[in-house]
Amino acid sequence: MSIEVSAGTFSYHREKILLRDISFSAEPGEAVAILGPNGVGKTTLVRCLLGFLPWEKGMTLLDGEDIRKLRGRKLWQKIAYVPQAKRQAFSYSARDMVLLGRSPYLGDFSMPGRRDREIAEKAMELAGISHLAGKDCNTLSGGELQLVLIARALAAQPEYLILDEPETGLDFRNQLVVLDLIRRLCSEQNMTVILNTHYPDHALRVSDKALLLFGGGIYQFGRTDRILTAEHMRSLFGVDIAVWREQMEAGEYAAVIPLEILAGREERWS
């Protein structure tokens, strides 16, 4: 069981390739972080991976099957997507929003039953938002809303969870709450998680593998400890950095320390 992109290529204008022959995979219990500067195609990659945008070449494979052959409910029972948190056009309570995650298991005119409500409650418990159940989503903070959207995804009981910048715009504590939840989903639920992030620190904290997008179709993929190096980060973001590691009782912790902005970005990796 795995999710895999095989030789994926995409461009909005054919004369300018945004993603070129990208291949990567994630196994059960693994987290993969996608990093890169603005405009290199991180969100586009996620949209292609999910089938929202068609690959020009290549494909997404879910458990060895082309995702294009999986239709409707069958697909969304396996995979769940959490977009960047935005205010809702309609007023739902947090409980009702999470309950929407059961939609792949309901018929066109079916109503959620007792089991659906129980699963939604457990999803809220897992995300740590049970205390928000009766609150209007329009009154929640950005961090609270992000956790509600994650709980909605978890209510589908997916094997694969795709997150688009789940920690962006959150305060320091809520960023850590989201990162801790991702790690627990992988280690305790054996879930596969793929996330876009702007933060190398966060990728170091939660991911097993990293995919670096340099732009122009150039990318690097591999184990996080081998890919998220100071050299690669300098090339990716044009910032001179050091990677600091500290061994503690609870395990090894790593952090990215910015030193200075480089006058000219180093030559990108090929």
Q: Which residues pair with 79 in a beta bridge?
A: 160
- Average pLDDT over the chain, rounded to whole? 89
Pair of tokens at residue 236: 């990716």
Q: What CATH number does domain 3-229 carry, 3.40.50.1820, 3.80.10.10, 3.40.50.280, 3.40.50.300?
A: 3.40.50.300
Better-scored residue on pLDDT, 14 or 205: 205
> pTM of the predicted model, to two decimals?
0.89
Q: Is the dihedral of CA 73, 75, 79, 83 positive or negative?
A: negative
Asked if the model's pLDDT at residue 264 lies above 60, the reply is no
**Can you say how many angstroms the Cα of residue 29 is from the centroid of all Cα atoms in its chain?**
14
DSSP character at residue 104: G
**What percent of the chain shows pLDDT beyond 70?**
94
SS3 of residue 87 by DSSP: coil
Which residue type, as a one-letter code, is found at position 4?
Answer: E
Which residue type, as a one-letter code, is found at position 108?
Answer: D
Pair of tokens at residue 57: 């070449």
Q: Tell me the pLDDT tens digit for each residue of 69-126.
A: 987 888 999 999 998 877 665 689 999 999 999 999 987 778 889 999 999 999 999 9
Residue 269: the pLDDT is 45
Q: How far apart are CA 226 and CA 228, in angstroms?
A: 6
Q: Which residues pair with 24 in a beta bridge?
A: 5
Strands (E), 110-238: 160-164, 192-196, 209-215, 218-223
Residue 73: the pLDDT is 85
C-alpha distances out from residue 139 to 93, 100, 256, Å: 10, 18, 34
Residue 104: the pLDDT is 92
